[in-house]
Amino acid sequence: METQSFFSCLEERARKLDSLLCVGLDPHPADLTEDTASAARDLCLRLIAATQDLAVAFKPNAAFFEAYGAEGWQALADVIDAIPESVPVILDAKRGDISSTAEAYARSVFEALKADAVTLNPYLGQDALTPFKKDPAHGVFVLCKTSNPGSGDMQDLQLVNSGSPITVYEKVAQLAERWNALDNVGIVVGATYPEALRRVRILAPNLWILAPGVGAQGGELSSVLAAGLRADGLGLLVPVSRQISRADDPRLAAEQITNAIRQARRDNAAFKSVEESPSYFKTLAEGLLKAGCVQFGNFTLKSGLQSPIYLDLRRLVSMPSLLAEVGVAYSVILKKLHFDRLAALPYAALPMATAISLQNGWPLIYPRKEAKAYGTRAEIEGIYQAGERTVVIDDLATTGESKFEAIEKLKSAGLIVEDVVVLIDRQSGAAESLAGAGYRLHAVFTLTDLLDYYQANHSIPNEQISAVRDFIKSS
């Protein structure tokens, strides 16, 4: 019988309870009747008894037990043993070492203590995590952007050789997404940094996130859920410790937090599908407008038509931060598709596809507008093999004519093309034309999406929005 992955089990319980509450077991000495291991154990046992039917998971913090030496270790084992088998146990231990040392830590966590998951420090790289994640039934939460004030000292540093602006914590999120082959790798992102949480969710759309910091540390629940929920309304655990353990009635406190989570999930746009409300939509839509990539006025198009809107995405090449955001937005779509290589169309899509390639490690090729008249006389630049599957990347979709020209060159080289991805679909017939030939068009935005957003947020006068809507209908 195939082993069920850790996050499959966690997700089942989250759906069953309609909650995302993770009860933290942090027996602070100030909360104990006496400063002993047995008092720490007894406090946690009372919390488990009061909340075990409300907790999606329990998260005992190893440090508060280790402080009592051997007696503390026994108390920790007793606490984990008292948690029902149906409730996942995440040991907050922040382990991180290599080789045989990592193997020993993994045995300690999963065999001796019998926890189901553990928090890990990724600083030593993937091989330090391997002993913990080799069994899909055992989960790991990799420290990504932690909740403490000093986290930025290291985690916010920019990686200068990454090809596009990216911080250390963003790189960890990308790596964790790749490491999640067995559905047992998640990440830790502090609730105290909702903007970082939003950014990480874009980079790692599928991962479960453990988001400590709600309550005592200042994290605000609705902001955390808005930034961190997956498109399906799951993928986020909210650990709460002191707000429950120090309450006069811990069970009542847990019930109130659970109800607040349920209400926030119902109210939050992040609960909708990614097509309806992508988490990157607001930032990118505003960025394109401010950068002049979307302009309103009166413009003469290449066709000679007069247009009330002009899209100039070639400007992105001079705006590395916005270009990186564009690359991330494409990646959300691309991660759902099957392909071996990106195929970018010259010229506006080349920097976009380069950003996508650098962020995800996907190889890139591009069909030339004209074959080289010297050297190899290549029509397609880059390394590829006949029979490989490519996804076409372009900036805009209008009628689809330029896409067909490129697809024919790719197919003539023996490559397979099924999907085309663009930043903006102008809604001028490209989707229909491509579909008629057996190709799927995917767009980060339709022109109507952008107009709806700009109108709702009063970014553009209504008369200009109406003029563009009329132009779309008539084109």
Both tokens of 193, joined, read 């940094």
Q: Work out the percent of the chain whose per-residue pLDDT is above 70.
A: 93
Residue 194: band (very low, low, confident or very high) from pLDDT cuts 50, 70, 90: confident
Tens digits of per-residue pLDDT, 422-451?
999 999 888 999 999 999 999 999 999 899
Tens digits of per-residue pLDDT, 78-113?
999 999 999 999 999 999 999 899 999 999 999 999
Tens digits of per-residue pLDDT, 109-153?
999 999 999 999 999 999 999 999 999 999 999 999 999 989 999
Ranges of each domain in the chain: 6-271, 281-474
CA geometry: angle at 400 spanning 398 and 402, to 5°?
Answer: 105
- Answer yes or no: 302 catalytic: no
pLDDT of the residue at 275: 37
CA distance 14 to 318: 44
- DSSP result, 117-166: EEEE-GGG-HHHHHHHHSSTTSEEEEEEE-SSGGGHHHHT-B-TTSSS--
Both tokens of 164, joined, read 């596009």
Average pLDDT over residues 47-66: 97
Average pLDDT over residues 277-282: 61
Catalytic residue among 94, 114, 272, 282: 94
| Of the options 3.40.50.150, 3.30.950.10, 3.40.50.360, 3.40.50.2020, the CATH number for the domain spanning 281-474 | 3.40.50.2020
CATH number belonging to domain 6-271: 3.20.20.70
Does residue 376 carry a pLDDT above 60? no
- 197 or 141, higher pLDDT: 141
DSSP SS3 for 305: coil
Tens digits of per-residue pLDDT, 227-240?
888 877 889 999 99
Whether the Cβ atoms of residue 409 and residue 430 lie closer than 8 Å to each other = no
**Torsion angle of the four alpha carbons 263, 280, 335, 446, in this order, in degrees rounded to the nearest 10:** 110
Question: CB within 8 A of 421, min separation 6: which ones?
Answer: 330, 333, 334, 337, 391, 392, 393, 394, 441, 442, 443, 444
